[in-house]
Amino acid sequence: MKISKILVFIVYLFSCNSTFNLMACTNYLVSKGASTDGSTMISYAADSHIRYGELYFRPATDWPAGSLVTIYDRGTAEPLAQIPQVAHTYQTIGFMNEHQVSIGETTFGGREKLTDSTGLIDYGSLMFLSIQRAKSAREAIKVIADLMNTYGYASSGESFSIGDANEVWIMELIGKGTDMKVNKKTKLTENVNKGAVWVAMRVPEGYISAHANHARITQFTLRDGKTSITDKDWDKLYDADIQVVYSHDLISFARQKGYFEGIDIDFSFSDIYNPLDFEAARFCELRVWSMFNHVNADMGKYWDYATGKNLSRRMPLFIKPDRKLNPRDLMSFKRDHLEGTELDMAKDIGAGPFGLPYRWRPLTWEYEGKEYFHERTTATQQTGFSYIIQMRNWLPDAIGGINWFGVDDASTTVYVPFYCSISDVPFCFAEGNGDMLTYSETAAFWVFNRLAHFAYLFYDRVMPDVTKVQNTIESKFSADVLPTDDKALSLYRENPEEAIKFLTKYSTDAANTTVDTWRNLGDFLLVKYMDGNIKQEKDGLFLENGYGYPQSPKQPGYPESYKKQIVDDKGDRFLIK
């Protein structure tokens, strides 16, 4: 396949470039039986120091015969190849399509020698191409596998969350390296290991899962033709009882490379292709533990594992939550900084005087010849965008799929509902409205970033104001869902196009109102907390002294803990004598 010098398809801006990021992206997966309303859900956070937050949109398209799609490297936008386009692609809004099929990812890297230097399809292209071409989660798995087998896999190890309105799957894959030999038939030198090894498992009904930059699938049911198949059995893929699908050479390849010598039933994808170490536990599995811990009282026994103290007792891939979950729950999990644990990021000296639960990168650092680290929490400042996708099988696809989408840091964002059938994206969230090097006052990404950066200055003072408004907006959106669904369904029965117009207007209004509110909130917070003072206000109105001047502002200074640090560090240097 020749690399094209002609850009025939708009550059995809994908999440989580491993060149610029360490341990980025956190995904949650929720089965129907684990949600409050019977919806399935997946979530994703595109954590990246170079990723711009915007809502990708591709309309459904019929392509002329001979059309090509250009594949671009996820981080550099360098064209990798052109491949044939299919006759029809489905509409996508972000990482969800018009049939409610959705996808998310985390990069786990894995064994470096298994990266294929000849591969043409990177993980980002797999994400977009799969949802453009698949009407179900199972079909998306097959699309991904077929693309890798046909064109070769260009990225390192990946975990995918794949969902539709009926089920959710976790799929983990890694390339097979580069082994160039001359093909006796074609006389051309080619990689005999083209493709990838992979395994996909359905999240059991009533259970949840999560992954965060480390492969989590260990042992699984081997091919039996009833609940587990390989890619040699694609004809059985849509049998309802099938819960596991994997590449036929998954285990034999590991034996060939010398990675595995045991009996097949003991094979563990994670242990073989992404061996666990302290950093994988502390930076990755700890984020999974934190989400699980919010919904399962039995997670304390895995604390030593998640913190890297005892790697022998691994957490399960799936757990049953103590309560059923809704999108608001997943939003709150996205905002976790290890609150309520001994590792709470707001409680140690690194938080400074105002309880900032963030540490600026790099993640690891050296001091006097020793290497140290900062905690890697779920919520992080360098998020381009994140989402919770909700898929509902009791509604027509046009109404059933909602992409709850937010830009920048999950702690300071607002998740806006975008229905999967909307005909366009509001300008404030649209591609091309600003970028990482171009400020735009009308772009949601920059509006949310400005407020977040101000909040980081006086975090424990400012965040109560932020979360109050955030909760008000998101509560309203949650309350809107049922009446919006009902109105759309009524229109849909008469004329589906009118329903789509209605949902497009609803999502557009929601987006514009949110961005306007956040811009105004940013202005309000600047006035209220300027120069370290706190102006007095009531119900959002600043109080005057009766003559046009502000009432004397509060000057709370520093907390006792920070005063103690100053005295401990400098002794009597600042003592008034």
d(Cα 173, Cα 109) in Å, to the nearest integer?
10
CB atoms within 10 A of CB 285: 25
Collapsing DSSP states into helix, strand and coil, what is residue 538? strand
What does DSSP say about strands 370-373 and 383-391: parallel, antiparallel, or unpaired?
Answer: unpaired
Q: What is the rounded distance in angstroms from the CA atom of residue 144 to the CA atom of residue 126?
A: 6
- Angle, helices 459-494/327-334, rounded to nearest 10 degrees: 150
- The pTM score is 0.94
- Which tokens go with 265? 């039933």
The rounded radius of gyration (Å) of the Cα atoms in the chain is: 25
How far is it between the farthest Cα atoms of the chain? 93
Sequence spans of domains, the chain:
27-276, 395-532, 537-570
Q: Which residues of the chain have pLDDT under 50?
A: 1-22
CA distance 273 to 258: 11
Q: Which residues contact 454 (CB under 8 A, 6 or more apart)?
A: 462, 522, 525, 526, 529
Asked if 170 contacts 200 with a C-beta cutoff of 8 angstroms, the reply is yes
The beta strands (E) that lie in 448-497 are given as none
| E strand or H helix at 519 | helix 496-529
Sign of CA dihedral 33, 37, 41, 43: negative
Across 511-548, b (16+ Cβ under 10 Å) vs e yields: bbebbebbbebbebbeebbeeeeeeeeeeeeeeeeeee
CA distance 457 to 385: 22
Q: Give the Å distances, CA to CA, from 319 to 34, 162, 208, 292, 377.
A: 10, 18, 6, 8, 21
Other beta carbons less than 10 A from residue 265's beta carbon: 10
pLDDT tens sequence across 335-381: 999 999 999 999 999 999 999 999 999 999 999 999 999 999 999 99
Residue with tokens 């117009």: 501
Q: What is the pLDDT of residues 538-564, one digit of tens each?
A: 999 999 999 999 999 999 999 999 999
- For the chain, the distance separating the N- and C-terminal CA atoms, rounded to the nearest angstrom, is 80
The residues near 153 (Cβ < 8 Å, ≥ 6 apart) are 116, 119, 121, 122, 173, 175, 176, 195, 196
Report pLDDT for 504.
Answer: 98
Q: What is the per-residue pLDDT for 260?
A: 98
**500 sits in which H/E element:** helix 496-529
Cα 414 from Cα 406, distance rounded (Å) = 6
Candidates 26, 15, 42; CA nearest to 377 is: 26
Q: How is residue 34 annotated by DSSP? A: G
